[in-house]
Structure 1
Amino acid sequence: MCGFVGFSDLTGGQDAARATADRMLAAVAHRGPDGSNWCHHRGVTFAHCALTFVDPDRGRQPFVSASGATALVLNGEIYNHEELRRELRAAGVRLRTAGDTEVLVELYERHGMKVLERVRGMYAFVLHDARTATTVLARDPMGKKPLYYTRVPGGIAFASELTALLRHPDAPRTPDVRALAGYLTLQAFCAPGSAVTDVYKVRPGSYLEHSGGRLREVEFWRPRLATAARTPGGRTPGAREAAARFEELFRAAVARRVMSTERRLGVLLSGGLDSSAVAAVAQQLSPQRPVLTFSAGFEQPDFDESAHARSVARHLGTEHHVVRIGGRELADVVESEYARADEPLADPSLLPTRIVCRTARQHVRGVLTGDGADELLLGYRYFQAERAIELLLRLMPAPRLEALVRTLVRRLPARSGNLPAAAALGLLARGLRAAPEHRFYLSTAPFGPAELPGLLRPDAHAALAGHDPFAEVSRLLDDQPGLTGVQRSQLAVVAHFLRDVILTKTDRGGMRSALELRSPFLDLDLVEYGNALPTSLKLRRFTGKYLLRRVAADWLPTDIVRRTKLGFRAPLAALLRNELRPLLLDTLSASALDRGGLFDTRAVRLLTDDHLSGRRDTSRKLWALLTYQLWYQALPTHTPSPACLDLTEEPHRAP
Structure 2
Amino acid sequence: MCGIVGFLSEREDKIGILKKQLETLYHRGPDDQRTYIDNKVAFGHSRLAIIDINHAQQPMQSLDERYVLVFNGEIYNYLELRQHLVSKGIQFKTYSDTEVLLNMYIVYGKECVNKLNGMFAFAIYDKHKKSLFLARDHFGIKPLYYTYKGNDFIFASEIKAILKYPEIKKEVDQQSLNEYMTFQVMLKKHTLFKNIHSLEPGTFLYLEEGKIKEKKKYWDFNYNIDDSISEEEYTTELLHLLENSLNIQTRSDVPVGAYLSGGIDSSLVSTLASKNYFGDFHTFSGGFKESPDFDETQYAKIVHQSIHSVHHEIFPTSKDFLDNFENIVYHMDYPEAGPGVFSQYMVSKLASEHVKVVLGGQGGDEIFGGYTRYAVAYLEQALKGAIFETSEEGKHLVTLQSIIPNMSQMKNYVPLLKEQFKEGLFEPMDERYYRMMNRSHNLHKIYNQGFLSTFEEGQLLDKFKQVFNHPDTKSYFNKMTHFDLKTLLPALLHVEDRMSMAVSIESRVPILDYRIIELASKMPPSMKFSGGKTKAMLIKSVKNILPKEIIERKDKMGFPTPINNWLAGDLKEYALDILTSQKAKQRGYLNTQAIEKQINESGKFSRDLWGALNLEMWHRKYID
With normalisation by structure 2, the TM-score equals: 0.90
Corresponding position of 2:534: 544
Q: Judge which range, 530-539 or 588-597, deviates more.
A: 588-597
Q: Within 1, Cα distance between the matches of 2:427 and 2:622? A: 36
AA aligned opposite 1:521: I
2:324 to 311, 323, 333: 333
Question: Which of 593, 596, 621 is equivalent to 1:634?
Answer: 621
Judge conservation of contact 2:475–2:525 (CA < 8 Å) in 1.
no
In structure 2, the residue matched to 1:420 is 412
* 1:382-419 deviation per Cα after TM superposition (whole angstroms, max 9, x unaligned): 11222222222223369xxxxxxxxxxxxxxxxxx996
> 1:569 and 2:560 equivalent?
yes
Deviation at 1:440, TM superposition (A): 4.6
2:583 corresponds to 1:592: yes
Maintained 8 Å contact 2:28/2:501: yes
Query: Out of 535, 558, 561, which is 2:525 matched to?
Result: 535
Change beyond 3 A, Cα 1:439–1:201: farther
Out of 111, 114, 120, the residue aligned to residue 114 of structure 1 is: 111
Residue pair 1:294, 1:360 contacting (<8 A) in 2 also: yes
CA deviations 1:316-352 (Å, max 9, x no partner) are 2111111122222223221444356421224210101
Q: Secondary structure at the match of 2:570?
A: coil
How far residue 582 of structure 1 moved from its aligned partner, in angstroms, is 2.4
- Answer yes or no: is 1:613 the counterpart of 2:601: yes
Q: In the alignment, is residue 442 of structure 1 matched against residue 435 of structure 2?
A: yes
Contact persistence 1:377–1:544 (CA under 8 A): yes
CA distance in 2: counterparts of 1:224 and 1:437, whole angstroms: 19
What whole-Å deviation, never above 9, does each CA across 1:516-540 have from its counterpart, x for those lacking one?
1111110111111111111122222
Shift, 1:132, TM fit: 2.6
Please tell me whether residue 85 in structure 1 is matched to residue 82 in structure 2: yes
Partner AA of 1:332 in structure 2:
D
Q: For residues 366 and 497 of structure 1, what CA distance do their matches in structure 2 show?
A: 24
Q: Does 1:50 align with 2:51?
A: no
Aligned to 2:217: 219
Alignment check: 8 A CA contact 1:72 1:128 kept: yes
- Render the CA deviation track for 1:580-621: whole Å, top value 9, x for unaligned: 222211221152223323x142xx432442233227x45211
Q: For the structure 1 residues 454 and 176, does the alpha-carbon distance in structure 2 shift closer, same or farther, using more than 3 Å as the test? A: same
Highest relative contact order (Cα 8 Å, sep 6+), 1 or 2?
1
SS in 2 for 1:72: strand
Q: Which amino acid aligns with 1:495?
A: K
Q: CA shift at 1:312, angstroms?
A: 1.4
Aligned to 1:141: 138
> Does residue 365 of the first structure (1) align with residue 352 of the second (2)?
no
Deviation at 1:513, TM superposition (A): 0.4
- Partners of 2:298 and 2:457 lie apart in 1 by 50
Structure 2 residue aligned with 1:203: 200
Q: What residue number does 2:63 align with?
A: 66
Q: CA deviation at 1:6?
A: 1.2
Distance in 2 separating the partners of 1:509 and 1:127 = 27
Rounded Cα–Cα distance in structure 1 between residues aligned with 2:365 and 2:383? 23
The residue type equivalent to 2:497 in the other structure is D
Q: Does the 8 A contact of 2:430 with 2:468 survive in 1? A: no
Q: Distance in 1 between matches of 2:264 and 2:547?
A: 10
Whole-angstrom distance in 2 between the partners of 1:574 and 1:438: 33
Alpha-carbon distance in structure 2 between the residues aligned to 1:41 and 1:278: 44
Q: Which amino acid aligns with 2:375?
A: Q
Alpha-carbon deviation of 1:197?
0.9
Letter in 2 for 1:221: W
- The equivalent residue for 1:28 is 25
Which residue number corresponds to residue 622 of structure 1? 609
User: Are the equivalent residues in 1 in contact too, given 2:580–2:596 (CA < 8 A)?
Assistant: no
| Contact 2:4/2:72 (8 A) holds in 1 | yes
1:122 Cα deviation (Å)? 0.6
Q: Secondary structure at the match of 1:45?
A: strand
Query: For the residues of structure 2 that align with 1:174 and 1:76, how far apart are their CA atoms?
Result: 29
- Mapping 1:233-244, distance limit 5 Å: 235=228, 237-244=229-236
Is the counterpart of residue 508 in structure 1 residue 498 in structure 2?
Answer: yes
1:433–1:70 Cα change, 3 Å: farther
Counterpart among 16, 20, 29 of residue 19 in structure 1? 16
State the distance in 2 between where 1:619 and 1:129 align.
51
What code does the residue aligned with 2:620 have?
Q
Structure 2 residues without counterparts, runs of 5 or longer:
390-408
- The question of whether the paired residues in 2 share the 8 Å contact of 1:139 and 1:204 is answered with yes
Q: Are 1:558 and 2:548 matched, yes or no?
A: yes
Q: What secondary structure is seen at the aligned counterpart in 2 of 1:321? A: strand
Match of 1:163 in 2: 160
Matching residue's letter, 1:266: G
- Structure 1: segments with no counterpart, 5+ residues: 230-234, 399-416, 638-655
SS of the equivalent of 1:39 reads strand
Q: Determine the C-alpha separation between the residues in 2 that align with 1:531 and 1:425.
A: 28
SS at match of 2:134: strand
1:459 offset after TM fit, Å?
Answer: 6.3
Is the Cα contact below 8 Å between 1:440 and 1:493 reproduced in 2? Answer: no
3-state SS of 2:531 partner: coil
For 1:334, the aligned partner's letter is F
1:290-328 CA-to-partner distances (Å, cap 9, x unmatched) read: 421010031122110111111211122111111122222
Three-state SS of the structure 1 residue aligned to 2:500 is: helix
Describe the SS at the equivalent of 1:390. Answer: helix
The alpha carbon displacement at 1:208 in A equals 1.8
**Cα offset, 1:454, TM superposition:** 8.2
Change (3 A) 1:457 1:175: farther
The whole-number CA distance in structure 1 between the counterparts of 2:503 and 2:411 is: 31
Identity across the alignment (%): 27
Q: Is the 8 A contact 1:3 1:32 kept in 2?
A: yes
Aligned partner of 2:403 in structure 1 is: none
Aligned length: 601
Kindly indicate whether the alpha-carbon contact (under 8 Å) linking 1:146 and 1:160 is maintained by their aligned counterparts in 2: yes
SS in 1 for 2:15: helix
Cα distance, 1:426 vs. partner? 3.9
1:492–1:426 Cα change, 3 Å = farther
State which of 298, 318, 326 in structure 1 corresponds to 2:288.
Answer: 298
Q: 2:247 aligns with which of 250, 255, 260?
A: 255
Report the Cα distance in structure 1 between the residues aligned to 2:446 and 2:345, rounded to whole angstroms.
33
Q: Is the 8 A contact 2:70 2:124 kept in 1?
A: yes
- Kept after mapping to 2: 8 A contact 1:473/1:495: no
> How far 1:55 sits from its partner (Å)?
1.3
Deviation at 1:282?
1.2
Q: Which of 326, 341, 354 is the equivalent residue of 2:345?
A: 354
2:302 corresponds, among 311, 322, 330, to: 311
CA shift in 2, pair 1:341/1:488, >3 Å: closer
1:455 maps to 447
381, 387, 390: which one aligns with 1:396: 387
Q: Offset at 1:463?
A: 7.3
Q: Secondary structure at the residue paired with 1:455? A: coil
Residue aligning to 1:270:
261
Pair 1:419–1:512, CA change in 2 (3 A): farther
1:8 is matched with which residue? 8
Distance in 2, Cα, partners of 1:473 & 1:50? 41
Whichever residue aligns with residue 509 of structure 1, its letter is M
SS at match of 1:521: coil
- C-alpha change, 1:509 and 1:67, in structure 2 (3 Å) is same
Q: Tell me, yes or no, if the aligned pair for 2:468 and 2:479 is still in contact at 8 Å.
A: no
1:7 touches 1:44 (CA, 8 Å); kept in 2? yes
- Structure 2 letter corresponding to 1:54: I
Residues 340, 631 of structure 1: 8 Å contact kept: no
In structure 1, distance between residues paired with 2:548 and 2:201: 37
Q: Partner residue of 1:409? A: none
- SS of the equivalent of 1:36 reads strand
